[in-house]
Amino acid sequence: MIMGVDYPTLAKTIAALTAGETDPVSLMATVACEVHHADERFDWTGFYRVAGPKMLKIGPYQGGHGCLTIPFSRGVCGAAARTGEVQLVPDVDAFPGHIACASSTRSELVLPVWNGKGRLLGVFDIDSDLPDAFTQADADALDAILKHSFAQVL
């Protein structure tokens, strides 16, 4: 039985670990580590950074290797970057243009990451080897953690 994440505790832990930090890569590394170890559903947890016009590049992550680059025009991560909207995908095989960085991935949750001035820094990608692993509650709690964590980045 999957118990889920204690998001209030996770949010407090991340806030304590990142208090005063404004470097986006340091924040990404800490958030990826803490979230990855918070729940067994999370098989791959990491960031893709905006690294050029309509291009994402791998950032800090936990788990097996990820794709090195993802254009905004492809995949779930690209959709989150392109639209600025959370992508909650219960079955990656049913997502048009899904990029299989890992063949074990069955479901995915990708959230856009904004700095304190509203500029897109990248996306936060969580993959699961379980189908339909993520809920709207996961998306909402993680979105709040990301907003708090990256608000001081300018």
Domain boundaries, the chain: 25-150
- With beta carbons less than 8 A apart as the criterion, state whether 58 and 87 touch: no
Residue whose pair of structure tokens reads 């049913």 in the numeric block: 94
Share of the chain above pLDDT 90, in %: 88
Decide if pLDDT at 2 tops 60: no
Burial profile 96-128: b = 16 or more Cβ within 10 angstroms, e = fewer: eebeebeeebbbbbbbbbbbeeeebbbbbbbbb
More reliable by pLDDT, 103 or 20 = 20
- Per-residue pLDDT band for 1 (boundaries 50, 70, 90) equals very low
User: How far is it, in rounded angstroms, from Cα 75 to Cα 57?
Assistant: 13
pLDDT tens digits, 106-148: 999 999 999 999 999 999 999 999 999 999 999 999 999 999 9
For the domain made up of 25-150, the CATH class stated in words is alpha beta
What pLDDT band is residue 40 in, cutting at 50, 70 and 90?
Answer: very high
Question: What's the pLDDT score for residue 54?
Answer: 96
Instruction: Give the model's pLDDT for residue 141.
Output: 97
Average pLDDT over residues 45-72: 96
